[in-house]
Amino acid sequence: MELEERQKIINTGAWAKGLKKDEQFIACIEELYEVHYAKFLLTASDDKEQREAIYMTMKGVDAFEAHLNGYIESAKVERHNQEEEKDER
């Protein structure tokens, strides 16, 4: 992998880590969960279609957060690899 690609991985990981620490982002994610949980509670127990839609929305938020975590982990691995390469020189 070229140096430019490797640096992009590290930069993206730093961006994702910063985003996950951002107070406005945290508040937004928490609000999404709260709003959708409240919507879920307001649905009838037999309203399968509405409950599934709410569930899928929340799974999408979970997937987004997992994707950010993937960026962070990839950056950690890349930084580790770069440190090992420095040590080998």
pLDDT band at residue 88, thresholds of 50, 70 and 90?
confident
pLDDT tens readout for residues 37-57: 999 999 999 999 999 999 999
Average pLDDT over residues 12-38: 97
The pLDDT, as a whole number, for residue 86 is 79
> Model-level pTM?
0.85
Closest CA to 13 of 81, 59, 61, 62: 81
In the structure encoding, which two tokens stand for residue 9, read together?
A: 């991985």
The pLDDT, as a whole number, for residue 8 is 97
pLDDT band at residue 85, thresholds of 50, 70 and 90?
confident
Closest CA to 66 of 58, 80, 78, 45: 58
Domain ranges of the chain: 3-88
